[in-house]
């Protein structure tokens, strides 16, 4: 059951993540890839912490149910836009950024309406997998720019980031379709 409390630890963590996202975008814009990688890792990992804390200590709030996913979308969509390149120098192509943003806009609109009519619209397993893969793709792309000579098990970061970026897009589309199927009640209602 969500409370009306605003000043909760999870909501404050989400606010810190939003501030970190703004700093991250400035650092990325300046091409400081190593600090951007670490900022992104901190911002993305605290998403798990605020959700765990909210459930563990009974601090789930209406604001948190809206604010937490919004901050997730700001971080992921902003990073996708700033990393997207046409020339193939990035694992993230501009069309991938568009797919991610369109999916997030649709799900946000549907989630708002489902919450308005009192239906729980929490992320399912594929939605969580999508977030993990998107964050891995972003983190790996940032790391590939920061440390281009580093490899994982003999595989250079950039090709590994390419594979993860494609997996993230598949999960993004799949989870978007899953959300649309879950909200059939809205589509069918007059």
Q: Among 186, 58, 53, 49, which Cα is nearest to 111's?
A: 186
Specify the pLDDT at position 168: 98
Q: What angle do CA 96, 100, 106 make, to 5 degrees?
A: 140
The pTM is what? 0.90
Specify the pLDDT at position 67: 86
Residue 1 predicted with pLDDT over 60: no
Q: Flag the least confident range among 18-22, 64-68, 104-108, 184-188.
A: 184-188
Q: Among 63, 8, 14, which Cα is nearest to 43's?
A: 14
Specify the pLDDT at position 171: 97
The CATH number of the domain covering residues in 9-188: 1.20.120.1760
Residue 68 predicted with pLDDT over 60: yes
pLDDT band at 36 (very low <50, low <70, confident <90, very high): very high
Residue 2 predicted with pLDDT over 70: no
Residue 188 predicted with pLDDT over 80: no
- Cα separation, 114 vs 108, in Å, equals 10
Give how far Cα 1 sits from Cα of 50, 57, 158, Å: 16, 12, 43
List pLDDT tens digits, range 139-157.
999 999 999 999 888 999 9
Q: In this structure, how many other beta carbons lie within 10 angstroms of the beta carbon of residue 143?
A: 23
Give every CB contact of residue 172 below 8 A, 6+ residues apart in sequence.
Answer: 99, 100, 103, 130, 134
List pLDDT tens digits, range 94-133.
999 999 999 999 988 887 777 777 766 677 789 889 999 9
Specify the pLDDT at position 3: 60
For residues 17-23, average pLDDT: 96
* Number of residues that make up the chain: 190
Specify the pLDDT at position 187: 62
Q: Name the average pLDDT for the chain.
A: 89
Q: Among 37, 41, 47, 38, which Cα is nearest to 17's?
A: 47
Domain ranges in the chain are 9-188
Specify the pLDDT at position 164: 97
List pLDDT tens digits, range 39-58.
999 999 888 888 888 888 88
Quick one: what percent of the chain has pLDDT higher than 70?
A: 92
For residues 61-88, average pLDDT: 89
């Amino acid at each position: 059951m969500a409370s009306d409390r605003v000043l909760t630890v999870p909501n404050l963590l989400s606010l810190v993540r939003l501030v970190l996202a703004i700093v991250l975008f400035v650092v990325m814009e300046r091409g400081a890839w190593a600090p951007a990688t670490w900022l992104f890792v901190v911002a993305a990992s605290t998403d798990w912490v605020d959700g765990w804390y909210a459930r563990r200590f009974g601090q789930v709030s209406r604001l948190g149910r809206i604010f937490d996913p919004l901050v997730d979308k700001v971080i992921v969509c902003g990073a996708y836009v700033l990393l997207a390149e046409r020339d193939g120098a990035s694992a993230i192509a501009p069309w991938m950024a568009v797919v991610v943003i369109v999916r997030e806009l649709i799900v946000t609109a549907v989630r708002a309406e489902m919450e308005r009519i009192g239906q729980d619209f929490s992320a399912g397993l594929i939605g969580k997998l999508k977030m993990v893969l998107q964050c891995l793709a972003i983190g790996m792309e940032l790391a590939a720019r920061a440390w281009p000579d580093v490899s994982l098990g003999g595989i250079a970061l950039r090709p590994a980031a390419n594979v993860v970026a494609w997996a993230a897009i598949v999960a993004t589309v799949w989870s978007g379709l899953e959300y649309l199927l879950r909200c059939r009640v809205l589509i069918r209602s007059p």
